[in-house]
Structure 1
Amino acid sequence: MAIIVNLDVIMAKRKMSLSELSERVGITMANLSILKNNKAKAVRFSTLNAICLVLECQPSDLLEYKE
Structure 2
Amino acid sequence: MESGPEVFAGAAFALFGAALLLWTGVCLRTGAPVAEGTGRVVGPVTALLFGAVFLGAGCWMLTLL
Give the structure-1-normalised TM-score.
0.32
Q: Larger strand proportion, structure 1 or 2?
A: 1
Which is greater in Rg?
A: 2
Give the structure-2-normalised TM-score.
0.33
